[in-house]
Amino acid sequence: MEIGYARVSTGDQNLDLQEQALRGAGVEKLYSDRASGGAVSRPGLDQALSALKPGDVLVVWRLDRLGRSLPHLIDVVSALGAKGIGFRSLADGIDTTTAQGKLVFHLMGALAEFERALISERTQAGLRAAKARGARLGRRPVLAPAQIAHAQKLVADGESPTAVARTLQVGRATLYRALRAAEQNRPGDLASRLSRRNSKVRSDQ
């Protein structure tokens, strides 16, 4: 059985052109969505994929009607192939039920893998460059109990929150959260000291 899937973006006119092409190609069931290419939720596509059985063929008008990107398209069609389900794209002349169509699709798969590798390489290069510039990578560090105790003592001795945060190499907001969490059983004590220190720093600037 050949099952068709059509999709238009919200701003497109209608599905008529795709549906006519798909019915003209002999599809017996037709499912559709009105959603942008990047939309995660596609109930029509979900229904089409659920209806497919081994030996069936999923037919679309054009490749971009099915996949959000080339890698996503390859993943979807590869998953279908693993279940014994074929794939046809009318406008692109791709039919994985033929030897030529399989070859074309394998070439597309190689291109998708190449694209993934390029993205990964650029990401790693960006991280290395950021690290070389001294940028902090990943989440801000969480203060250990000993560091929090040390910070409490510094604040109690009159150090400003900014100076304490600089000493511990964390942001001031991180310091505030850690100290307030540690002092939650004594509301107002640390908060008032921090507020006074911060106000003094601003007034001195």
Write the secondary structure of the chain as one string of H (helix), E (strand) and C (coil). Answer: CEEEEEEECCCCCCCHHHHHHHHHCCCCEEEEEECCCCCCCCHHHHHHHHHCCCCCEEEECCHHHCCCCHHHHHHHHHHHHHCCCEEEECCCCEECCCHHHHHHHHHHHHHHHHHHHHHHHHHHHHHHHHHHCCCCCCCCCCCCHHHHHHHHHHHHCCCCHHHHHHHHCCCHHHHHHHHHHHCCCCCCHHHHHHHHHHHHHHHHC
Active-site positions?
A: 9
| Of 191, 205, 144, residue with least CA distance to 170 | 144
What type of residue is 10? T
